[in-house]
Amino acid sequence: MLSIKNLKASIEDGTQILKGINLEVKPGEVHAIMGPNGSGKSTLSKVIAGHPAYHVDGGSVELDGKNLLEMEINERANSGLFISTQYPTEIPGVNNVEFLKMALNSKRAFLGQPEMSDEDFKKLCEEKMNLLEMDERYRERGVNDGMSGGEKKRNEILQMAILDPKVSFLDETDSGLDIDALRIVANGINHIMSPEKAVILVTHYQRLLDYIKPTYVHVLRHGKIILSGGPELALKLEDQGYDWIEEA
Amino acid sequence: MSTATSEFIQSLPTAEQAIARLRELGMPRRNNELWSFFPVAKIPTPEFMGTDFATVSAASPTDQASPTAPAHSSSDEAVQKETDFAALLPIANQARPMIREIVPGAAEMAMLKCNNDFGHTVLEIGKGAKVSLEILDNKVTHDIAAERFDINVGENADVEIFFANPACDLPLRFRHFNINQAAGANVRFSSICRDTAIGRISVECHLKGEGANFDYRSLHILDGEASQHSRLTIYHEAPRTVSTQLARNLLSGSARVSYDGSVIVGYDCTGVNSSQLVNTILMSEDASVSVKPVLKIYHDDVECTHGNTVGELDAEQMFYLVSRGIPKKTAQEMLMRSFAQETFLPLPDSPAKKRLMAELEK
């Protein structure tokens, strides 16, 4: 489904952040990526999304056999990729619901589908907002405008629920969430997840993985995946940190 | 006609006085601070001024009237205070003033449209009146158009003045507003300009009574060779008066905007609050903006701020929208629209806000 092969990327000053990432994600799988700060986790998500601040030095990223790196940013999203960044951008003045509708209809246009009617969109929006226990205020606000960290993360998952991507890359979605919000967001992700879809979670903590059971756990360090394992690996990392990996 | 209106009309310069004053001032020059940003070479000599007018030497740069200057007592005295070429043109061309009085306490919605290139409107708004005034484009047949509006706002009246005219390719257009506000009077002046040629809006606002409030919001969305200029002078002549200026510009092509805003706070005008903010987004390398804030403050207990930002569309916001599947061009339009709409969002719900926001949906 998502195939990342020997992905290398650098920032403007030439510093290479990703030094050969390899990752195979199949439908129905949940992959957790853990690693110390500065290891390249957020860079990985942005490079896949096509953020202009990063330069791809080599490798490939394929979604269902199509090279994402050759696509425009919006085409990657419309092909089924959803990236949730660690710090969602605030866009005052662009209404949250109007933005969601524009995004959904852009995807539908890309897929050759007709625009969703206002009535159907309203129903869809209500259903997903109920799933995430979001109140009506979200409709009136600008995109992430003036929202707390937790509210922004919930808003990101609302977008994911409405856009219904094949692969979601969620960068520290659990940060800024209180216990109840974590449960709600995690339940939302589990609800959206299906055997045809995949999720990649970047997290520092086991607590998110208590709610969303990973198929695989990977450790990213110095721009490379240096260790992969099952769910038990996250428990060991929570208990022992990262130093033992290099020592081993 | 009320006595106040009659006295005001009497205080205005006659056509002869205006012509004499124009000859005294000469054609606008860049060394006159009123015209420092304007492409003065593009101003044609008004036909009615005679062929020799172009050669009249300009007067030395004129200072603004003193904030403590006495009120006009005669047209002779008044004409000496007229320093703006654009404000004098309609009178010099014998534009017959359209006089409108709105009685105290009345609530009115009105549209103004001049029938000629040179229009002059005098509005007397009574105490406590509530007025919504939209200014429509005048009928233009010459290569220069100039309109003048004298608006006197009575105590505690609430007035909104606005225009969002369709894009106009007039060679040159001037609009001059002379606004006098009594105690407690609120005036909200809001405009959207998409003209494709050269234009200048000048506003002279006198906050004469305690607690008067003037709110100015302008939005320029320009492309091509458009060149639009704003010249504001706000006189705080009474305590606890408030003025707000917000000018936003979205400029493409080789469009040019200038904003020349002066705030003058007079003696003993305690508790004055004034702010000026100009935000510009340049969509191309050849677009440009010039901003000149001037603050002349003759009293200590006042709060006056000014700010100016120039930039491009926010790259992170663009990325965010596009990364959700929205095409780049649409994302740009969404950000531009939000930038534009924010200019008028703080306005109270009113015909002006409705009209301006609807214009931005186009």
- Domain ranges (residues) in chain B: 3-361
Q: Which residues of A touch B342 (CB under 8 A)?
A: 92-93
Which residue of chain A is at minimal alpha-carbon distance from B346? Answer: A93
Give residue ranges of A with CB < 8 Å to any B CB.
49-52, 72-74, 76-78, 83, 85, 88-89, 91-94, 99, 102-103, 106-107, 110, 142-143, 159, 163
In a domain, A177, yes or no: yes
In a domain, A53, yes or no: yes
Which of A71, A95, A99 would you mutate first to test chain B, the one with the most B CBs within 10 A? A99
pLDDT for residue A179 is more than 90: no
The total of structural domains in chain A comes to 1
Give residue ranges of B with CB < 8 Å to any A CB.
315-317, 319-328, 330-331, 334-335, 337-339, 341-342, 345
User: Å from A244 to nearest chain B CA?
Assistant: 37
Backbone angles phi, psi at B248, to 5 degrees: -120, 145
Using left for φ > 0, alpha for ψ between -120 and 50, and beta otherwise, residue B253 falls in left
Highest mean pLDDT among A217-226, B39-48, B274-283: B274-283
Report yes or no on whether pTM surpasses 0.90: no
Percent of chain B with pLDDT over 70: 91
Contact in structure between A178 and A207 (CB atoms under 8 Å): no
What integer pLDDT is reported at residue B74 of this predicted model?
Answer: 53
Which DSSP category does B60 fall into?
A: P
In a domain, A227, yes or no: yes
What integer pLDDT is reported at residue A209 of this predicted model?
Answer: 87
Which of B320, B328, B341, B357 would you mutate first to test chain A, the one with the most A CBs within 10 A? B320
Cβ–Cβ gap B325/A92 under 8 Å = no
What pLDDT digit, counting tens, does each position of B296-307 carry?
Answer: 999 989 999 999
- A135, A115, A111: which is closest to A125 by C-alpha? A135
pLDDT band at B352 (very low <50, low <70, confident <90, very high): very high
A118: Cβ contacts below 8 Å, ≥ 6 apart = none
pLDDT for residue A5 is more than 70: yes
- Rounded to an integer, the average pLDDT of A2-11 is 95
pLDDT for residue B55 is more than 80: no
What integer pLDDT is reported at residue B64 of this predicted model?
Answer: 43
Q: What is the mean pLDDT of chain B?
A: 89
Of A44-58, A110-124, A125-139, A172-186, the range with the lowest mean pLDDT is A172-186
Cβ–Cβ gap A103/B324 under 8 Å = yes
Which of A74, A85, A89 comes nearest B325 by C-beta?
A74
Q: Which residues of A touch B345 (CB under 8 A)?
A: 93
- Rounded to an integer, the average pLDDT of B190-207 is 93
What integer pLDDT is reported at residue B139 of this predicted model?
Answer: 67
pLDDT band at B61 (very low <50, low <70, confident <90, very high): very low
Which DSSP category does B34 fall into?
A: G
Q: Which residues of A touch B330 (CB under 8 A)?
A: 102, 106
User: Å from B130 to nearest chain A CA?
Assistant: 29
- B252, B246, B256: which is closest to B341 by C-alpha? B246
pLDDT for residue B177 is more than 80: yes
- B121, B124, B110: which is closest to B149 by C-alpha? B121
Cβ–Cβ gap A78/B341 under 8 Å = no
Q: What is the mean pLDDT of chain A?
A: 90
pLDDT band at A246 (very low <50, low <70, confident <90, very high): low
What integer pLDDT is reported at residue B54 of this predicted model?
Answer: 66
In a domain, A140, yes or no: no
Cβ–Cβ gap B320/A88 under 8 Å = yes
What integer pLDDT is reported at residue B44 of this predicted model?
Answer: 84
B203 three-class SS: strand
Q: Which residues of B touch A88 (CB under 8 A)?
A: 320
What pLDDT digit, counting tens, does each position of A189-220 carry?
Answer: 888 889 999 999 998 888 888 888 899 999 99
**Largest Cα span, chain B:** 66
Which residue of chain B is at minimal alpha-carbon distance from A83? Answer: B323
In a domain, A212, yes or no: yes
Cβ–Cβ gap B345/A51 under 8 Å = no
Q: Which residue has the higher pLDDT, B338 or A137?
A: B338
Percent of chain A with pLDDT over 90: 58
ipTM of the complex: 0.94
Q: For the residues of B326-353, what is the DSSP string, one character each?
A: --HHHHHHHHHHHHHHHHHTTSPSSHHH
What integer pLDDT is reported at residue B67 of this predicted model?
Answer: 44
Cα–Cα dist B78/B65, whole Å: 11
Cβ–Cβ gap A52/B319 under 8 Å = yes
At B290, list the tokens. 């010039």
- B243, B236, B241, B194: which is closest to B216 by C-alpha? B243
Which of B323, B331, B337 comes nearest A83 by C-beta?
B323
Which residue of chain A is at minimal alpha-carbon distance from B325? Answer: A74
- Rounded to an integer, the average pLDDT of B138-143 is 71
Which of B250, B312, B317, B324 would you mutate first to test chain A, the one with the most A CBs within 10 A? B324
- Rounded to an integer, the average pLDDT of B173-187 is 96
At A118, list the tokens. 């206002």
Cβ–Cβ gap B321/A49 under 8 Å = no
In a domain, A109, yes or no: no
Which of A50, A92, A163 comes nearest B324 by C-beta?
A163
What pLDDT digit, counting tens, does each position of B232-287 carry?
Answer: 999 999 999 999 999 999 999 999 999 999 999 999 899 999 999 999 999 999 99
The CB-side HSE value for B141 (13 A sphere, CA atoms) comes to 5
What integer pLDDT is reported at residue B56 of this predicted model?
Answer: 61
What pLDDT digit, counting tens, does each position of B71-107 carry?
Answer: 434 556 677 788 899 999 999 988 888 999 999 999 9
Cα–Cα dist A8/A32, whole Å: 20
Which of A85, A110, A142 comes nearest B325 by C-beta?
A110
- Rounded to an integer, the average pLDDT of B329-345 is 93
pLDDT for residue A67 is more than 70: yes
Residue A38's domain comprises: 2-90+149-247
Q: For the residues of A213-248, what is the DSSP string, one character each?
A: --SEEEEEETTEEEEEE-HHHHHHHHHH-SHHHHH-
In a domain, A123, yes or no: no
